[in-house]
Amino acid sequence: MLFPNSTNMNRTLLLLGLGLTLLAAPARAQDALHKKALKLAETQAALMLRDVPKAIQRQPAAPGKAAPVSPRSLTPAGELAVVPSRDWTSGFFPGYLWLLSEATGQEAWRSAARTYSARIEPEKTNGTTHDLGFMVYCPFGQGYRLTQDAHYREVILQAARTLSTRFSPVTKTLRSWDHHKDNWQYPVIIDNMMNLELLFAATRFSGDSSFYQLAVTHANTTLRNHFRPDYSSYHVVDYDTATGQVRRRMTHQGFADESAWARGQAWALYGFTMCYRETRNPAYLRQAEHIAGFILNHPNLPKDLIPYWDFNAPDLPNAPRDASAGAIMASALYELSTYSPASGPLYRDKAEQMVRSLAKSYTAKPGGSHGFLLLHSTGHKPANSEIDVPLIYADYYFLEALQRRKNLAAGAKVLDTGSQAKL
């Protein structure tokens, strides 16, 4: 470049420097948010590691019952609620510790993650639940990804074999609950999409395509039967065990059968995004994009993008929020942004807004809430259970969203799960 005189040269350099400063400002802001959130996560995790043993001591197992091993939420009295490994939320805390070890590189978090993961291992043969993806894959999947520990791989494979026993060739789905048999014959909940990741991983690890086939069959059946014309999801679909036909579509944790339970929409978004990652089936990508459109364009989505517990709750705008749904949505949108050329920038921007809202208005005070990171989640509003409280899975997906955010900012892959599952 030629500069006719020193004045023009100085002006050009000044404008160049100003442009670089403006480009760097968002990156610095992003880095500041990440550092602050990660520092809080470490403070809170250290507190929780101190408080969990105390809570377990205060809550001894009844005769014939399993002892608690992992944190879930807070009691109405504000005490730390701990649960046995058979609880569907048991794997989130060790999974959270693995994510914290990845984010910080600190061996202390990895050591704690190993300890708490080991407490969940007995569930690898628990055939009474569909939630083995949450219970086993969250800790052992993250652990294997970060350590390549061969034992973790075997735990995952055994859990996948166990989960496979819940598949029905008649309904072409994995059965969700075994309880309330007076209410339904063969219930399948939208949450079950999340457990398919365990099956996809099992095919990658073993080369056995049967796990993959079960996962895609369940996903295809869910895509066909769980969604309304506006791409909102029912919570529960009940199937006839003899014919495989749909008997009823209903809710269990939402406001009404025809309402859109917020966390259910989050599970659907995350689940079909993950299924696209594992299969590259464009039908799953289109479904994820449609679900994202329903969520992001809904007139009842608050300005901070953290949803009410149900999009159709009767007491809006005073209904409780669900930070857990917001965290799940943000994590899913960061990933979906890398698969959708047309809408990718929008998804990433919305995920960024969600993360900023969570970090600004939904985080616990340092040293408070027995070590939980996020506040203001809703577990089961119709049962008057876990309303406006911390929930361990909210913390897990928020930390996952932060890590995905960091990866994208660095120009890296949003996540690395190894090679895709193959047919």
Supply the residues annotated as catalytic.
131, 191
- CA-wise closest residue to 349 among 294, 399, 391, 405: 405
Helix locations, 196-296, DSSP H: 196-206, 209-225, 262-279, 282-296
N residues, the chain: 423
CA distance 345 to 326: 18
- Pairing of β 186-189 and β 236-239: antiparallel
Containing H/E element for 238? strand 236-239
At a CB cut-off of 8 Å and minimum separation 6, what does 218 contact? 167, 172, 173, 174, 192, 193, 196
Q: Which amino acid is present at 43? A: T
Q: Could you tell me which residues are beta bridge partners of residue 173?
A: 168
Question: 287-303 burial by CB neighbour count: b if 16+ within 10 A, else e?
Answer: bbbbbbebbbebeebee
Neighbours of 356 (CB within 10 A): 16
CB 298 within 8 A of CB 252: no
CA distance 232 to 406: 30
Q: Could you tell me which residues are beta bridge partners of residue 144?
A: none
CA distance from start to end of the chain: 56
CB 176 within 8 A of CB 189: yes
Spell out the long-range contacts of 207-214 with Cβ–Cβ below 8 A and sequence spacing 24 or more.
209/422, 209/423, 210/164, 211/160, 211/164, 211/421, 212/278, 212/279, 212/421, 212/422, 212/423, 213/423, 214/164, 214/167, 214/174
